[in-house]
Structure 1
Amino acid sequence: MIHFVGAGPGAVDLITVRGKDLLEQADVVIYAGSLVNPQLLAYVREECLILDSAGMTLEAVIAAMERAEAENKMTVRLHTGDPSVYGALREQMDILSAKGLLFDIVPGVSSFCAAAAAVQAEYTLPDVSQSVIITRMEGRTPVPSRQKIADYAAHGATMVIFLSTGMLYKLQTELTAGGYGEETPSAIVYKASWPEEKVLHCRIGTLAQTAREAGIDRTALILVGDFLGSSYSRSQLYHPCFSHGCRKADPSQLAYSEYKK
């Protein structure tokens, strides 16, 4: 059996219990060495074969999985964050399916979740943003039509931008071309949840300068939107005047009913 396991954003204790259990049982571990915290390998057995996929091709990864299956061994393919987000997962699954090899997927904590924790923010605030756009700048891998940064910026929603730290001047241009103002609050989160985590608050207009002054040119997420500001409205979910299936409204409890910051 082949298990695709999300390693989490970096901190060793942010892998899921299921993911940790599978690492402890694995005969073969193929991990993304350029991204996954190597301390996670402390969970594997001494006799486990460990392969770093950073220097491997897709074909080499599949061949290693096939060898393990032929020898009745269990493989963990350890992806950074959650495998479904920029994980090059689909191509592996399609080949394994075509070869009749069984696999499953263990979700992980994505770095975009760890980044929100790092800045102590909520992406979805009433009257501010109720949508989160996860995207990246166009680089060597093209971006489909109508999915450019400027296209998404036009919505004014919360944006979490992966794989773009080395293109921040261009990112600034795209964001403002799409409709964000240069003063829109932003943050650069370097290695969210790792011991060396850094959080840099800035504005869209100073993204590149802020990263340059801090010496950050990779392994960071860019957060953009007014969710990083100070204004928002109270959620209706816990409002005393709001009824739902678990609670009836009680207008007498109005201490914070008009709360708006």
Structure 2
Amino acid sequence: MAKVYIVGAGPGDPDLLTVKARRIIESCDVIIYAGSLVNPEIIKLAKPDAEVYNSAQLDLDQIMGIIREAYDRGKNVARVHSGDPHIYGALKDQTSVLEQLGIPYEVIPGVSVLTSAAASLGIELTMDGISQAVIIARGSLRIPVPEKEQIKNLAAHGSTMVIFTGIHIIDRIAKDLMDGGYDPETPVGVVYRSTWPDEIVIKGKLSNIASLVHEKRIYRTAIIIVGDVVDPKFVRHSRLYDPEYVHSFRGGRNASGR
């Protein structure tokens, strides 16, 4: 029986595809990919006779029309998303229609730009004594955001914050974060096209990150990470590998007598 696979293709680097995602892209009869976000090198993995559609110019009804027609012909379909489809991937919009149509599907998680950007910045998103919570937020003027989830209101927590789709309004984002409680000296990292060959990494602070971003002429396809984890005043924070920290797999020095 034919099936639809909703595939997370990772942040850009084809080597960051999961083994399963790569296998599905290589074997499916029909490929529908987000052309504005997915690296074209990934789509080159499709078999020569695969039908390939760029969804950047399509609406939901058109995408579902292609999927339904392919399914009726007994074709397996790979709907290829950037990053991980569970984070700002309009996943439910698509799976709801598939369920209504009775078309079986499977979601294949992918490496999120959330983690690839952290790797590009060389940081840890959660550090003992600095931040143990990560807020994933959307900075957008077009997509409705509940009042309690506005950037300014989320800033009151003071935790690590990862902001998607907000680089084009970086001035407003920085102001809202400071108005919400972050110190102007709070470190900020921005990663443009994480893991792509033209990746750009910027580190600054809330008081100057907007000007640094404007200097590089970055207006899209970038992620913003805010918090002291971006540039911590580092001392050993983690208890996990502390010689005195005892857990079920390792006794401390005092417990072992060594």
TM over 0.5: yes
The residue that corresponds to 1:259 in the other structure is none
TM-score, structure 2 as length reference: 0.96
Amino acid at match of 2:200: K
The residue that corresponds to 1:65 in the other structure is 67
Aligned mates of 2:175, 2:44 — CA distance in 1: 43
**Per-residue deviation, 1:129:** 0.2
Aligned mates of 1:97, 1:78 — CA distance in 2: 18
Counterpart among 99, 102, 105 of residue 101 in structure 2: 99
**Per-residue deviation, 1:240:** 1.2
Paired residues of 2:26 and 2:47 also in contact (CA < 8 A): yes
Paired residues of 1:124 and 1:132 also in contact (CA < 8 A): yes
Counterpart among 190, 193, 198 of residue 192 in structure 2: 190
Gaps of 5+ in 2: none
**Per-residue deviation, 1:143:** 0.3
Aligned mates of 1:175, 1:23 — CA distance in 2: 40
Aligned mates of 1:231, 1:195 — CA distance in 2: 30
User: How many pairs are equivalent?
Assistant: 253
Aligned mates of 2:38, 2:218 — CA distance in 1: 18
The residue that corresponds to 1:223 in the other structure is 225
Whether 1:27 and 2:29 are equivalent positions in the alignment is yes
Q: Percent identity?
A: 38
Matches within 5 A, 1:130-169: 130-169=132-171
Aligned mates of 1:84, 1:252 — CA distance in 2: 44
**Per-residue deviation, 1:229:** 2.2
Paired residues of 2:18 and 2:110 also in contact (CA < 8 A): yes
TM-score, structure 1 as length reference: 0.95
Whether 1:207 and 2:218 are equivalent positions in the alignment is no
Aligned mates of 1:192, 1:98 — CA distance in 2: 36
Moved beyond 6 Å, runs of 4+: none
Matches within 5 A, 1:40-79: 40-79=42-81
Amino acid at match of 1:95: V
SS of corresponding position for 2:116? helix
Paired residues of 1:138 and 1:148 also in contact (CA < 8 A): no
The residue that corresponds to 2:250 in the other structure is 247
Q: What's the CA shift string for 1:132-170, capped at 9, x where partnerless? A: 111112311110120010111111100111100110111
SS of corresponding position for 1:43? coil
Aligned mates of 1:9, 1:91 — CA distance in 2: 22
Aligned mates of 2:135, 2:85 — CA distance in 1: 18
Paired residues of 2:140 and 2:165 also in contact (CA < 8 A): no
Amino acid at match of 2:244: C
Amino acid at match of 1:53: S
Q: CA RMSD in A?
A: 1.2
SS of corresponding position for 1:24? helix
